[in-house]
Structure 1
């Protein structure tokens, strides 16, 4: 058996055995704004299997249309999870929904997003009915309410003590717990007397666990990562790794106490997230936090306030130097989605039909995407993966990427080829990089 690939820092890649399972809790249905019409239960089941995800959130159970569809399409599996009626042995689903609370607290306007977990359809119906009395649950898959978010925690737990509330993408500038535009400096300031019910935080695409662990106040929270997918292809771009039994109670117990089977996360390179750096999209300005501070927070092109990004906000609140990784933290592995690797190898800037055909060929021959990116030895992949794509996978596993950070709603640009020296073979000769 070949030796494991070494990632940055010398840790074997990946740090997990194959007998774990992957879960992505935060997604949306086609009833959410700016979401693909293909976000249906059959498509979610199919794409989860292509990606290698065992467990996926339903998203949007607060929406009457989507909840009715879930009731038609899902069947319980006896563990508190569900399966698609058309494939009872396939992907498992857990009932989840994102909610937006916009309210005034501490003299400021606050905009906080959270993800709710429900044990079963009866609980989901109860939560939806309670929310219907407080606002319009049919306007969007992610409904907006005008009451403080702590009341949402209380409402979910009154419906069922086994419900769970996860603050979403906690550093995003506009809609999050710690966001620069509308967030708080401490979790307790936001959730007040309900703070004890918050046991985990979602890091979001623009931060990773190491960044979050720079705040000692967050040590007691499990850090989860999810895709926030608005189309099936985006499933699993961030995910969670578990070794516990596959069931609602077991998964929630592992989130509350990681020693019971939470093994870590799969991450974007955080620089690729669309709010990592500060910036002003309208002027094409992207800045690191130090440059923003020198400019007094103003755009050098137009003089308007810059959107302060995730890295800047982490530095404002951090009480530890980099990297913030206490012993209790679980491994976090940074990946580049396979379609992005294929697109760059083919020399195209976006996912085209040619990229999708090659992606489909690879997963048909080499297994689900996560198997290709994480576990299959490069020597095995070489039999079916073109050499240039294989080079990209190897560089990703080693952390050899160049990234122009994302800012103000613009995703970062990641490269596995453009700014790296030519590869050499085992004899020190320049390696050939043909596609096929």
Structure 2
């Protein structure tokens, strides 16, 4: 068994010809850029690109295969040098069982399978060339189709106020929307961690994923997991999500939830922090709040126990969050130590000091040790990190 760094939620901004895929993603988020960044800068071993249902993206992948730049793995997934690409799609569900839209992630083992899924999907949504489109059909119908094609089904960022399972009163239980037997794992999102999610008893049945939901290059691997598998393939990933025969997620790495942009309740108008019971904002008098993940989980909490053998959730700070590390300093660090994974977790303090000043090294070591203080985020605004001297 080996351990692999994995981020399963990365968006494409543009196709090779410049056509938009994920409207809100950066134009620089092209397939070649993502592959290069994930492998050479971030140090990941496996990525899920979740806009691979788009026909033009499939054509790009076919070109890479025909040119020998990629190969299809026997166990599923595409291999680019030492990086495994898992082919996925993000879909919006809003049927009679939902009180609001819910985003889900689906993944398939081969290019042929996701092309087959595209053929099924294109008659059920408005625009097959764009990401995260709303499907005309029920969530359970989608689950059944995905499972019939040997795919994986994962509810996305389940606590965020907008477009998630538990967000903004969409549902109080996953059984209101999904068939729980057809869920392979759940994605927590940036404003929650394992401790918070385990306060909901029905989630104890599932593996937790901490993915980046990257819309820009710098956001790749801001959250990820370490997965123990025999090889970085689709079939091994499936086994790991179900803790099969010693395969498993062994650690989740993610932001301190307070850094997430939907952690706390804030005023809808001025974004001042608010208590859930407050009738109006003390700062501007507005009466509507954006309920954060912290309060939503308090509403849903039904247990004080946690799942046995739940992997550690390790709060980390991406290098871009660390005070003093701008683009030039980051480039200097990467030139010396190759990947962000190495810098954040492995490079000795003495080696860092040869490249950057003591203040920045202290910040990196504090991030590694978890000794930080945080200004809480909310209402779509990220929190801020303050390091101890």
What's the TM-score, normalizing by structure 1?
Answer: 0.81
**1:253 to 2:245 alignment:** no
**Is 1:308 paired with 2:291?**
yes
1:179 aligns with 2:158: no
C-alpha distance in structure 2 between counterparts of 1:274 and 1:380, whole Å: 34
Within the candidate set 167, 170, 175, 2:155 is matched to: 167
Alignment-derived partner of residue 238 in structure 1: 223
For residues 63-119 of structure 1, the C-alpha deviation after alignment (integer angstroms, 9 at most, x for no partner) is 2222222322353133312134xxxx23221101111112232xx632110010101
Query: 1: distance between equivalents of 2:185 and 2:3?
Result: 20
Match status 1:403 vs 2:374: yes
1:111 to 82, 101, 106: 101
SS in 2 for 1:188: helix
Q: Is the 8 A contact 1:104 1:110 kept in 2?
A: no
Equivalent position SS for 1:79 = coil
Q: Shift of the alpha carbon at 1:196?
A: 0.4
* Residue in 2 that maps onto 1:73: 64
Quick one: distance in 2 between partners of 1:356 and 1:148?
45
CA deviation map 1:282-312 (0-9, x unaligned): 213223xxx222x14x444343321111010
Partner-residue secondary structure (3-state), 1:113: strand
After superposition, the C-alpha distances for 1:209-235 in whole angstroms (9 at most, x for unaligned) are: 111111222111100010000112111
Quote the offset at 1:45 in angstroms: 1.5
Contiguous gaps of at least 5 residues in structure 1: 1-16, 347-354, 423-436
Distance 1:93 1:388 in 2: 37
Which one of 328, 331, 347 corresponds to residue 309 of structure 2?
A: 328
Counterpart Cα distance in 2 of 1:141 and 1:229: 13
- 8 Å CA contact 1:206–1:276 kept in 2: the answer is yes
RMSD of aligned residue pairs (Cα, Å): 1.9
The separation in 2 between residues aligned to 1:37 and 1:83, in whole angstroms, is 24
The total of aligned residue pairs comes to 373
Deviation at 1:364, TM superposition (A): 1.8
Instruction: Supply the distance in 1 between the matched residues of 2:90 and 2:139 (Cα, whole angstroms).
Output: 12
Question: Cα offset for 1:139?
Answer: 5.3
Cα displacement (A) at 1:157: 2.0
CA distances 1:354-391 after superposition (whole Å, capped 9, x unpaired): x2221121122123111111122323333333211110
Separation in 2 of the partners of 1:380 and 1:327? 38
Paired with 1:338 and 1:325, the residues of 2 have a C-alpha distance of 31
Q: Which segments of 5 or more consecutive residues in structure 2 lack a partner in the other structure?
A: 14-20
Counterpart Cα distance in 1 of 2:184 and 2:115: 24
Larger Rg: 1
| In 2, Cα distance between equivalents of 1:197 and 1:116 | 11
370-379 or 24-33, larger mean C-alpha shift: 370-379
Counterpart in the other structure of 2:18: none
> How far 1:325 moved relative to its partner?
4.4
Distance 1:325 1:357 in 2: 43
CA–CA distance in structure 1, aligned partners of residues 345 and 250 of structure 2: 15
Choose 407-416 or 23-32, whichever is displaced more.
Answer: 407-416
Q: Contact (CA 8 Å) 1:179, 1:313: kept in 2 or not?
A: yes
Residues 306-326 of structure 1: CA deviation (Å, up to 9, x unaligned): 1111010111111234xx644
> Where does residue 350 of structure 1 map in the other structure?
none
Note the C-alpha offset of 1:406.
1.3
Shift, 1:414, TM fit:
1.8
Residues 146-171 of structure 1, C-alpha deviations (whole Å, 9 max, x = no match): 4321221112123x1x2000000000
Give the 3-state SS of the residue equivalent to 1:67 in structure 2: helix
1:32-78 per-residue CA deviation (whole Å, 9 max, x = no partner) reads 11111221222112111211101111221222222222322353133
Q: Which residue does 1:217 correspond to in 2?
A: 202
Picking from 2, 15, 38, the partner of 2:28 is 38
Number of the residue aligned with 2:357 = 386
- Structure-2 residue corresponding to 1:150: 140
- Stretch moving more, 114-123 or 69-78: 69-78
State the alpha-carbon separation in 2 of the partners of residues 190 and 27 from structure 1. Answer: 25
The question of whether the paired residues in 2 share the 8 Å contact of 1:406 and 1:412 is answered with yes
